[in-house]
Amino acid sequence: MNTADQETPSERKEFRRSGPHFADRITADGRDGWPVEAGRYRLVASRACPWASRALISRRLLGLEPALSLAITDPIQDERSWRFTLDPGDRDPVLGIAFLSEAYDARETGYPGGVSVPAVVDVPSGALVTNDFHRITLDLATEWTALQREGAPDLYPEEHRDEIDDVAEGVYRDVNNGVYRAGFAEHQDTYDDAYRRLFARLDELSERLSTRRYLVGDTITEADIRLFTTLVRFDAVYHGHFKCNRNKLSEDPVLWAYVRDLFQTPGFGDTVDFDHIKRHYYRVHTNINPTGIVPLGPDLSGWLTPHHREELGGRPFGDGTAPGPVPDGEVVPEAGRAV
């Protein structure tokens, strides 16, 4: 008898996302030994990764580009971790490294865990500071205020933090992480549970957003950023690749309009690279897609169609303003953009 047949559901393995090993914080008072300082740190991100995309969006909305430099990795990893093969000489021009794992090694020799993005690296030492994807964006919003642009929005307003945290927790558990639980499930009941929780939460969010433009309050907050990074990938990869196929996002009128509204807001869609997204998921996850074939679809033209969400009111940036043009060198290549 197959050993899997003898397992009970509680004994069966399911996808679990490990917590950050390096959880130091960069703060205004430097209490962890890492003070906020313009030009000292470098954000390493992959445009393929939804967790890293949070940091890309927050950095852009807050206008932190001059203070926090950016390294974009190749969307295709190998056994040596995230690579800087998009840069001349296959090395990051600021850190001088070929693989992100080198910054991890500079922080802790022989670190046994995975090498993840987003990661913030201390430029002078070349050592990793943090890979805490949950905390990085919150600190950009609350600890880096002295270096934010004039007119930067408040992405984590104090009066709404409890509600933002509550909404974001459900989104993380059932949506952000839920698609992975479904996609990497090794047993039917694990997949079934993740699938049902995912679509139950999406239905709940659709109902919530049917009468309000944003998830919490009348402005864009951290909660919207966290939901957006999964929704923008849904039809391109999660629907087919991760078997989250009850319906496409584009078949839900509310969520499809909501995500298009955000996509068309400066700071969101201009950080999205659909080419990187598709090539990463379909070529790296060989256990799910052993042929490595990257689908040509879906059609991306719908992302720029009218959404009419402004009829619900709301002020995208609150008392602030929209970010300016994307800095030179950070524009998403044409191959990855919606047209």
Q: CA 221 to CA 224: how far, in whole Å?
A: 6
Does the pLDDT of residue 8 top 50, yes or no? no
Same domain, 128 and 171: no
190 located within any domain: yes
Q: CA 147 to CA 239: how far, in whole Å?
A: 39
pLDDT single digits (tens) 300-309: 999 999 999 9
Does the pLDDT of residue 243 top 50, yes or no? yes
Q: What is the mean pLDDT of residues 207-215?
A: 98
Same domain, 59 and 170: no
Number of domains within the chain: 2
For 13-27, 69-83, 255-269, 305-319, which range has the lowest pLDDT when averaged over its residues? 13-27
Same domain, 142 and 175: no
- Residue at 223: amino acid letter: A
The pTM score is 0.94
244 located within any domain: yes
Same domain, 55 and 90: yes
- If one compares 80 and 216, the residue with the highest pLDDT of the two is 216
Q: Please, are residues 201 and 232 in contact by the beta-carbon 8 Å criterion?
A: no
36 located within any domain: no
How long is the chain? 339
Same domain, 122 and 247: no
Give the model's pLDDT for residue 113.
86
Q: What is the mean pLDDT of residues 21-41?
A: 96
Same domain, 186 and 302: yes
Give the single-character DSSP code of 287. T
Helix (H, G, I), strand (E, B) or coil at 99: strand
Q: What's the token pair of residue 297?
A: 């679809």
Does the pLDDT of residue 312 top 80, yes or no? yes
Same domain, 140 and 175: no
Same domain, 169 and 134: no
21 located within any domain: no
Share of the chain above pLDDT 90, in %: 91
Same domain, 265 and 321: yes
Q: CA 93 to CA 84: how far, in whole Å?
A: 9
290 located within any domain: yes
pLDDT single digits (tens) 108-132: 998 888 999 999 999 999 999 999 9
Catalytic machinery residues: 49, 180
209 located within any domain: yes
Domain finish residue from 147, 173, 196: 147
Phi/psi for 190 (5° steps) reads: -65, -45
Identify the CATH number of the domain in which residue 195 sits. Answer: 1.20.1050.10
55 located within any domain: yes
Q: Please, are residues 280 and 76 in contact by the beta-carbon 8 Å criterion?
A: yes
Q: CA 128 to CA 217: how far, in whole Å?
A: 35
214 located within any domain: yes
Same domain, 213 and 295: yes
Give the model's pLDDT for residue 7.
31
Same domain, 237 and 95: no
Same domain, 87 and 215: no
Q: What's the token pair of residue 329?
A: 């060198």
pLDDT single digits (tens) 34-92: 999 999 999 999 999 999 999 999 999 999 999 999 999 999 998 889 999 999 999 99
Q: Please, are residues 44 and 100 in contact by the beta-carbon 8 Å criterion?
A: yes
Confidence of residue 4 (pLDDT cuts 50, 70, 90): very low
Q: Which domain holds residue 259?
A: 158-336
Domain finish residue from 125, 147, 169: 147
Confidence of residue 21 (pLDDT cuts 50, 70, 90): confident
pLDDT single digits (tens) 147-206: 999 999 999 999 999 999 999 999 999 999 999 999 999 999 999 999 999 999 999 999
Helix (H, G, I), strand (E, B) or coil at 35: strand
Q: CA 181 to CA 52: how far, in whole Å?
A: 19
Using CA atoms of 269, 202, 165, 139 in order, give the dihedral in degrees to the nearest 10: -20
How many Cα atoms occupy the beta-carbon half-sphere of 94 within 13 Å? 21
Is the dihedral angle over the CA atoms 122, 127, 133, 134 positive or is it negative? negative
Identify the CATH number of the domain in which residue 68 sits. Answer: 3.40.30.10
Q: CA 272 to CA 152: how far, in whole Å?
A: 20
